[in-house]
Chains A and B, each alone.
Chain A
Amino acid sequence: MVEKITVGHVHMSGCTGCLVSFADNYEGLFKILDNYADLVYALTLVDVRHVPEMDVALVEGSVCLQDKCSVEEIKETREKAKIVVALGGCAAYGNITRFCRGGQWNQPQMESYVPIGDLIDVDVYIPGCAPTPQQIRNVCLMAYLLLKGTDEQKELAGAYLKPLMALAKRGDEACGCDLMYDVINQGLCMGCGSCAAACPVRAVTIEGGKPQIERDLCIKCGACYAQCPRSFFNFDVMNEFEGISELIKEVMQ
Chain B
Amino acid sequence: MTGKPDRVDAVIIGAGASGAAAAKVLTERGLRVVALEKGPWRTKESFGGDELANVNRYNLWPDPILNPRTSRTSPEVAAEVDPFCPVPQMVGGGTVHWQGWLPRFTPNDFRLRTVAGDLAGTTLADWPITYEELEPYYDAVEWAFGVSGQAGANHFEGPRRRGYPCPPMPQSRYAEKFHDGCAKLGWNSFPTPQAALSQPFNGRPATVVSAFAQQHGDPTGTRSSALNVFIPDAVATGRYELRPESYVRELVLDDRGRIKAAVYEDAAGVMFEQEADVFLLACGAVETARLMLMSTSARFPGGLANGNDLVGRNVTFHEYSASVATFDDPIYAWAGGGYVSASSFQFYEHDASRGFVSGGHIAAAGVGIPLPINWGLPGKPTWGVEAKQVDRDYFNHSMAVAMVLHDMPQHDNRVDLDDTVVDAWGLPVARITLIPHENDLAQGRFLVDRCGEILEAAGGKDVTKVYAEKVTGNCSHQHGTARMGDDPDTSVTDRHCRTHEVDNLFIVDGSPFPTATGANPTLTIMANAWRVAEFIVTSKGNR
A-B complex is real: no
Q: What is A's interface to B at a CB cutoff of 8 Å? A: none
